[in-house]
Structure 1
């Protein structure tokens, strides 16, 4: 199918099979496509809400839809398929999945992922601050520095990462201290040398059943005198570095990407699918775990290892030439076509527009 044809099929599945409704989006949104949420006056809404409350999730909370090239690498104009991501193996034969396959007239692929969870845990203290280094709000364990940015309305340079890394999943206050390294890696709130930034802004994550989150992101201004290197991603274990550019790029299924993060350092992979909607992510831990739905996401995998693991949250995902493409925020431990799990990321242009930032690579 053509790319737009897959988008149309995806819309039909959400409306006809899931009983979701389309919602209006702002005219300046760069999504460019309609978004869908459960209708509040339907059994779909009630079942999803009740399922989350009883920890018995409705199947619609475990099925995501996106745009996929047939083999993950094919870029022919009419070679796209509907991607059906399932978080539980027994959903393979569920009526929703079978109906989605019929709607796509066989031009669909079912991909088992396992549960989708946030990626929150390159440990160590790094001065100057470096892309991929351990970082975090003083109330969380640790995540990764994605890159460095400047606010479009002026002001200082700061750190870009996830809301759940820098803003403690909505719990933080503007002005809270950010540590490098993160607390799990030895950073201490009372240690002046661990304090590198203060929280400036974050996009609130909604856990409502009918919410449509697009990003998990936050920005923290560097404190005076804190040095940084925004022009390259540096791996201390291998003593290698890779240039990072300032201009974002939009990629499609099959494109090669790489990232440098706190847990798994440099990994290389490829984009599995784009425009993925209804990615329901488990956020938090233990009894405090909650579910949040994300739309318009990107999925990535690696053929030889995990592309990401817990602690890589906030990593910047780049094209082969170092152009920024996405912000890593969640993933699965297994599944996908390679068995190494899938990584999920927000398109970087959406992140930058929401926070009103530009990527900054100079010193």
Structure 2
């Protein structure tokens, strides 16, 4: 460890031509593997140390990994976000069933600014930043992808869109101007459409910008259903790797989209409270690394996830 290029040592198996063998060796990790002719005699690693063969492995400069930092390629589990939001989590790299091209999966409220598809809050082609804006992501230098498509979020109460409702609202407000000039009336409609998912897709600018392996977990192996009592795990921008028990399935929950707006979600998976703000969009997996859900909401007591099969079906994608 006193040699300037050495950053670590450990016990492992010798590598030959880039492949691991079954031969025991003392592994010496270096910033850069250099030919002996470019090293001083004092910098050379001996072929044997205390009777053990040595194997020099180049690992680069080792530093703490921040999930809120800049990644290229960007793995699932790191910070990402629509250019007009704060930040969420890159959930997974999936395949478009239409053309087999790779796409980034996360929540609507992460990649599409919580859009209902009619409000102009997000449009096809919008810039997606990595890291997300709250973590220092800036236009245009940190653009990693463009918004491809999303499932609109249906709010519980919406403004009237039919001409009769709008006419009634305008007429009443015209009367109020005469009778009570300081007052105005707003007409709202109860929306009977509930949500199944909070999900969206982004198309990477180049496939070199993304990777399939989830930070600290690995590559998903498929999809599965889940039952109450099962242990599930996710890798998120804020919390890192967290695990907890499933409390309920087939759940209907009311979620606050902001301080004034709520939405109902049905067929949801509820787990123990294992998430924090910024973890939204994380892929939730079981012990076999099979995806079971897409994390999208929570409180101090619970975490809520969309069933992964609903996500795959509605977005027409596969892992």
Q: Same fold (TM over 0.5)?
A: yes
Distance 2:229 2:104 in 1: 29
In the TM superposition, residue 246 of structure 1 has moved relative to its aligned partner by: 3.8
Corresponding residue for residue 178 of structure 1: 128
Distance 1:128 1:351 in 2: 24
Q: Larger deviation: 308-317 or 205-214?
A: 205-214
In the TM superposition, residue 228 of structure 1 has moved relative to its aligned partner by: 2.0
Could you list the runs of 5+ residues in structure 2 that have no partner in the other structure? 1-66, 116-120, 157-189
Corresponding residue for residue 211 of structure 1: 193
**Aligned match for 2:94, one of 145, 149, 174:** 149
Corresponding residue for residue 305 of structure 2: 345
- Look up the SS of the partner of 2:310 in the other structure: helix
Distance 1:283 1:198 in 2: 23
Q: Is the 8 A contact 1:244 1:323 kept in 2?
A: no
Question: Does 1:354 find its partner at 2:302?
Answer: no
Question: Does 1:132 find its partner at 2:114?
Answer: no
- The 5-angstrom pairing of residues 286-297 of structure 1 reads 286=259, 289-297=260-268
In the TM superposition, residue 274 of structure 1 has moved relative to its aligned partner by: 0.2
Corresponding residue for residue 296 of structure 2: 329
Ranked by relative contact order (alpha carbons within 8 Å, sequence separation 6 or more), the top structure is 1
Distance 1:227 1:220 in 2: 12
Give the TM-score normalised by the residue count of structure 1.
0.57
Q: Is the 8 A contact 2:196 2:266 kept in 1?
A: yes
Q: Is the 8 A contact 1:175 1:200 kept in 2?
A: yes
Distance 1:329 1:271 in 2: 15
Corresponding residue for residue 276 of structure 2: 309
Distance 1:211 1:272 in 2: 25
- Look up the SS of the partner of 2:75 in the other structure: strand
Corresponding residue for residue 233 of structure 1: 214
Larger radius of gyration: 2
The C-alpha deviation readout for 1:217-254, integer Å capped at 9, x for no partner, is 00001112533221x322xxxxxx22232411001001
Could you list the runs of 5+ residues in structure 1 that have no partner in the other structure? 1-121, 235-240, 334-340
**Aligned match for 1:201, one of 130, 149, 168:** 149
Corresponding residue for residue 26 of structure 2: none
- Look up the SS of the partner of 1:242 in the other structure: coil
- Look up the SS of the partner of 2:152 in the other structure: coil
The C-alpha deviation readout for 1:247-267, integer Å capped at 9, x for no partner, is 110010011110000010100
**Aligned match for 2:220, one of 219, 237, 245:** 245
In the TM superposition, residue 155 of structure 1 has moved relative to its aligned partner by: 5.2
Give the TM-score normalised by the residue count of structure 2.
0.65
Q: Is the 8 A contact 1:156 1:222 kept in 2?
A: no
The ranges of structure 1 where at least 4 consecutive aligned residues each deviate by more than 4 angstroms after the TM superposition are none
Task: Note the aligned Cα RMSD (angstroms).
Answer: 1.2
| Equivalent pairs, count | 214
Q: Is the 8 A contact 2:77 2:89 kept in 1?
A: yes
Distance 1:226 1:168 in 2: 25
Distance 1:259 1:173 in 2: 29
In the TM superposition, residue 156 of structure 1 has moved relative to its aligned partner by: 2.6
Corresponding residue for residue 205 of structure 2: 223
Name the structure with the higher helix share.
1
Corresponding residue for residue 188 of structure 1: 138
